[in-house]
Structure 1
Amino acid sequence: MRRLPVYLLLDTSGSMRGEPIEAVNTGIRVMVSALRQDPHALETVCVSIITFDADANVVVPLTALDELQVPQISTPQSGPTHLGRALETLGTRIRQEIRRSTSDQKGDWAPYLFVMTDGKPSDLMVFEEQCPKIRSIGFASIIGCVAGPKARKEDLAPLCDHVVALDTMDSAGFSSLFKWVTAAISGGNRSMGATATVSLPPPPPEIQIVV
């Protein structure tokens, strides 16, 4: 069975402390639960979670959905938003984890990347350097979410195919966001290297597609 890799890059900088990160934890549980109710997703989807603050941390390496232990993600008291470093880590993980097609077997489906942040990348030069490298990998779709009043769609536009805005950083908002991401993941598979655009499902009222 060909795998459908899904990578989540989640902002855990100091500004996410408290209700926002608890809401993200709720959202992840909602997403995993919903995917597990889809028989096709249960057979194909693998999930990796990478968090970023002053450093980038692989909280969950690429793991099959039926084996995934949902982590409890926390944040430091304070700290920067090193999204560029997270993209570097992602590039390394992709090279290690994605199965490429060979003469004997088909490789993984093109992976999905979901990036959530509530602020501007602190390591802007690294971020700008990494964006074209990540885009060249061949993701089925790169979806960004800017959450809260300090995040701007322009900050993720160089990286993402689609950027959505989430105004409220509470459990209801993040649950809606992750349900929508689940629908996008379940919407179809695409082989690595294919050029067709993946269409996204209509977003719920709490979410606005801005790019």
Structure 2
Amino acid sequence: MTNYHDQVPFTIDATFSDAVFAENPEPRCPCILLLDTSGSMSGEPIAQLNNGLLQTFKSELMADEMALKRIELAVVTFGPVEVISEFQSADTFNPPTLKANHDTPIG
């Protein structure tokens, strides 16, 4: 019998061409944004999360030249687990608009 709260394994395949590294030889720093989109986030909480991603996180990221060269971003949500965006360079990151749904599987 499977426990409802057991972790569901998933993988993210990130492939980069040699040309990407030739243009930007900076070391990479993978960053996964793990975001709650369960039902308990409906209303104001999900609106604040979306605003924080678009206004604060994106603008701070774009203002940091070192981060733009080094950070590779992926977005994963839980409630349930879903890969929203695969790894991509910070300069091409466009925050998704998230919606709260499903049950709250934590707490």
Flag whether TM exceeds 0.5 (same fold): yes
Matched, 1:72 2:103: no
For residue 47 of structure 1, report the CA deviation from its aligned partner.
1.1
Aligned to 1:2: 27
**Cα distance in 2 between the residues matched to 1:41 and 1:9:** 19
Query: Residue type matched to 1:42 in 2?
Result: L
- Give the secondary-structure state (helix, strand or coil) at the position aligned to 2:94: coil
Paired residues for 1:1-211 under 5 Å: 1-29=26-54, 30-53=56-79, 55-76=80-101, 78-81=102-105, 119-120=106-107
**TM-score of the pair, normalised by structure 1:** 0.37
Aligned to 1:106: none
For residue 80 of structure 1, report the CA deviation from its aligned partner.
2.8
Structure with higher RCO (Cα < 8 A, 6+ apart): 2
For residue 58 of structure 1, report the CA deviation from its aligned partner.
0.6
**Cα distance in 2 between the residues matched to 1:80 and 1:26:** 21
**Cα distance in 1 between the residues matched to 2:45 and 2:94:** 21
- Give the secondary-structure state (helix, strand or coil) at the position aligned to 1:80: coil
**Cα distance in 2 between the residues matched to 1:68 and 1:44:** 13
**Cα distance in 2 between the residues matched to 1:24 and 1:17:** 10
For residue 5 of structure 1, report the CA deviation from its aligned partner.
1.0
CA deviation vs aligned residue, 1:167-189 (integer Å, no higher than 9, x gap):
xxxxxxxxxxxxxxxxxxxxxxx
In percent, how many aligned pairs have the same letter? Answer: 33
Aligned to 2:9: none
Structure 1 stretches of 4+ moved >4 Å? none
- Give the secondary-structure state (helix, strand or coil) at the position aligned to 1:46: strand
For residue 48 of structure 1, report the CA deviation from its aligned partner.
1.0
**Cα distance in 2 between the residues matched to 1:69 and 1:39:** 17
Query: Residue type matched to 1:24 in 2?
Result: L
For residue 3 of structure 1, report the CA deviation from its aligned partner.
0.8
Runs (5+) with no aligned partner, structure 2: 1-25
**Cα distance in 2 between the residues matched to 1:80 and 1:34:** 30
- Give the secondary-structure state (helix, strand or coil) at the position aligned to 2:52: helix
Runs (5+) with no aligned partner, structure 1: 82-118, 121-211
